[in-house]
Chain A
Amino acid sequence: MMKALGSSRLSRRRFLIASASLGVGTIAAPYVARADDPTLRITGWGGKWGEVMKAEIGPAFESEFKCKLQIDSAFPYLPKLQASSRSAPIYDVLHTNSNEQWAAAEMGLVEPKIDPNLVPNLADVYPYAVSDKIVGVSIFTSAIGLGLRTDKGYGPITSWKELWDAKYNGVRGGYVIPVNSLGQAFLMMCGTLFGKGQTDLDAAYAALEKLKPIKIVDFTGAMEKMLLSGEVSLCVIHDSGIYRYDGQNQPTDFVSPSEGVLSLEQVLTITPGSKMKELANAYVNYMLRPEVQKRLAETVWYSPANKKVKLDAKYDAKLLTTPEKVSKLIQVDWKWYNERKDEIDQRVNRIFRA
């Protein structure tokens, strides 16, 4: 027994030495590898967006501006920014959807506007990208409309109101409004469709009641899959969630309702305490460059904010690339919405729980 113990002790020692070496290596690696170049800390999406950013767009920026781009693609960004020091924020540039940017701006975590003198490409963006509904600048937008199964014989859809048609009972899809931007934007659209405007919450609540039965999901990606699998036949969705399956022979299509499409903006802002302001502005300007906009737009099917971008015909036909198409965008007043978010969350939870 003693011999056995002795031999196991030897192997344990080896194991501990190997593990300790691994540990020291793991812990020390980032410090050893740390370069002297300045680092710009930004947030960004995962998926295809993240792939192109890591493989092409990010390295090109690093090379041109002699810096390191540190992209945090792990949600949630806002609580992390909130928890970090105002004078030394965890991010220099915040990239999120517009609703979160408004929340950040209200807390003073991001600068409300981008200086056009420091970001020359701002002069070339569509008005919606810097409107009073936007904090910072919108670099891309998606159109929120309706997703339809084309193989179920439901016929052409022209209006948002068709979502309330009884024939879609059990096969219509929506979102868990408290946690999903598309759901929140849709709630505002309900006020416009059935009441006096976006802020007519009573009309919106009544309309949501009449939407039941409805299948609701929290992630937009889950809605895409439900539509692909045929679990829903008509749903609220953004155009890129449909167009990304272009060429895969899927029986789905995006419908731009006659009342207009809601905008789902990809917004960049700069944090007030950033020590890399010059680089941050350069990054915003870089992301608005026509060639960068074209590459990303054609990768993830987002409509570019820069008017000068010329997309390939396939993308140009579907995305919002002309002033006429852009005029169909309906922007949500997120400042107004965020001020009432708790009250709205409670009410819609009651509606859908029932």
Chain B
Amino acid sequence: MQTSASHSPSLPTARQTTSVRMPGPARHYGRYLYLALNAAILIFLLAPIAIVVVFALNPTPFIQFPPVGVSLRWFEKFFASRDFMQALGFSLEVAVLTTLSATVLGASAALALARGNLPGTRLIVATMLSPLMLPAILTGLALFQTYVLLDVGRPTWGLVAGHTLVTLPYVVRTTLAVLHNFDTRLEEAAQNLGASPLRTFFEVTLPLIKPGVMAGAIFAFIVSFDQFPVSLFLVSPGNETLPVTLFNYLKFDLDGTIGAASVVSIVLAFVVVIGLDRTVGLRSYVKL
């Protein structure tokens, strides 16, 4: 064992680390086991998506394995359906509005919590994260009753508010995570150089916390787009989100259209992530 005298005994060198590795065959078995475990996790995660795709492309009106052929009839039915198209468009609108409101409110709240020296910060954080702990269906029912009491009906802004409530914790949490390691001396330096507080925020603070904000925004979009329990009570006739429309549809017609709609949803989620990657450079946020 060759060690340098300058190294601390508690910090082994690369060579030392190599010397305590398992012998060859055992190391190989360990590696295979590790790969097998990862493969199993991947299969576990991707199998439902694969089943949905098979269901969507299978021409039979029921789930059949192995599939008897490949057909786009369910996609045609999905895109030809006025109800589904309306629901898809409405879901996208609500998801965009929710993402905007949750991102602005969540990031602002996180900044206030991290910087504001507020009394009872822990309690406030716990309160802001509490929608994650409540069953979402109860949140939906409670909001529905509130709107009824206020006699405002079931407006679109009410649905967006409901979605914002359940997506806000994601933005708060991810923004707080980046603010935890934020070096405030950078802001001080900007202000010493004459930048106004507003300019400092937009040109120093925001770019530095953007990884957390963007990660939260992506979560907000996806959670809102797929949101079912809260929407169930808050959608109004003619303004139904895609998950609610799918639920109502499958009570009467459990065919491949459901699979086609799911595939479209998955593709849309990918498009959002890829779009964000191309426009704001998502890859640089992977460190989160």
Interface residue? B155 (CB, 8 A)? yes
Chain A interface SS verdict (over half): helix
User: How does the 8 Å CB contact mask read for B79-93 relative to A, with 1 for contact and 0 for none?
Assistant: 000010000000001
Interface residue? A247 (CB, 8 A)? no
Chain A minimum-CB-distance residue to B158? A27
- Which chain B residues lie closer than 8 Å to A50 at the CB level? 83, 248
Chain B residues bordering chain A, tally (CB within 8 A)? 43
* Contact between A79 and B141, CB atoms less than 8 A apart: yes
* Contact between B64 and A229, CB atoms less than 8 A apart: yes
Interface residue? A71 (CB, 8 A)? yes
Give residues of chain A (36-82) contacting chain B, Cβ–Cβ below 8 Å: 41, 45-50, 70-76, 79-80
Task: Report the stretch among B9-17, B24-32, B37-45, B238-246 that lies at the interface.
Answer: B238-246
* Contact between A221 and B97, CB atoms less than 8 A apart: no
* Contact between A22 and B96, CB atoms less than 8 A apart: yes
Other-chain residue from B97, B155, B239 in contact with A19 (beta carbon distance below 8 A): B97
In the docked arrangement, what's the CA distance between A228 and B252, Å?
15
* Contact between A22 and B97, CB atoms less than 8 A apart: yes
Other-chain residue from A27, A46, A71, A74 in contact with B232 (beta carbon distance below 8 A): A74
* Contact between B244 and A74, CB atoms less than 8 A apart: yes
User: How does the 8 Å CB contact mask read for B196-231 relative to A, with 1 for contact and 0 for none?
Assistant: 000000110001000000000000000000000000
Interface residue? B270 (CB, 8 A)? no
Interface residue? A327 (CB, 8 A)? no
Given contacts A9-B202, A22-B93, A22-B97, contact A71 B237 (CB under 8 A): yes
- Which chain B residues lie closer than 8 Å to A45 at the CB level? 252
* Contact between A47 and B249, CB atoms less than 8 A apart: yes
Given contacts A74-B235, A221-B251, contact A83 B62 (CB under 8 A): no
Other-chain residue from B63, B156, B232, B236 in contact with A26 (beta carbon distance below 8 A): B156
In the docked arrangement, what's the CA distance between A220 and B233, Å?
23
Other-chain residue from B97, B149, B155 in contact with A30 (beta carbon distance below 8 A): B155
- Which chain A residues lie closer than 8 Å to B144 at the CB level? 80, 83
- Which chain B residues lie closer than 8 Å to A20 at the CB level? 100
Interface residue? B182 (CB, 8 A)? no
- Which chain A residues lie closer than 8 Å to B96 at the CB level? 19, 22-23
Q: Which of A27, A84, A222 has the most CB of B within 10 A?
A: A27
Interface residue? B132 (CB, 8 A)? no
* Contact between A48 and B97, CB atoms less than 8 A apart: no
Interface residue? A224 (CB, 8 A)? yes
In the docked arrangement, what's the CA distance between A76 and B234, Å?
11
* Contact between A27 and B237, CB atoms less than 8 A apart: no
In the docked arrangement, what's the CA distance between A27 and B252, Å?
31
- Which chain A residues lie closer than 8 Å to B235 at the CB level? 74
- Tell me the smallest distance from the CB of B196 to a CB of chain A, in Å: 14
In the docked arrangement, what's the CA distance between A224 and B253, Å?
9
- Which chain A residues lie closer than 8 Å to B160 at the CB level? 23, 27
In the docked arrangement, what's the CA distance between A48 and B100, Å?
37
- Tell me the smallest distance from the CB of A5 to a CB of chain B, in Å: 6
Chain B minimum-CB-distance residue to A18? B96
Q: Which of B202, B247, B254 has the most CB of A within 10 A?
A: B254
* Contact between A221 and B100, CB atoms less than 8 A apart: no
* Contact between A30 and B156, CB atoms less than 8 A apart: yes
**B contact residues vs A (CB 8 Å cutoff):** 60-64, 83, 93-94, 96-97, 100, 141, 144-145, 148-149, 151, 155-157, 160, 202-203, 207, 232-233, 235-240, 244-245, 247-255
Nearest 3 interchain pairs by C-beta: A47-B252, A225-B62, A46-B248
Given A47-B252, A228-B61, 12 more A-B residue pairs with CB atoms under 8 Å apart are: A5-B202, A5-B203, A9-B202, A19-B96, A19-B100, A46-B83, A76-B232, A79-B141, A84-B148, A221-B251, A221-B253, A222-B254
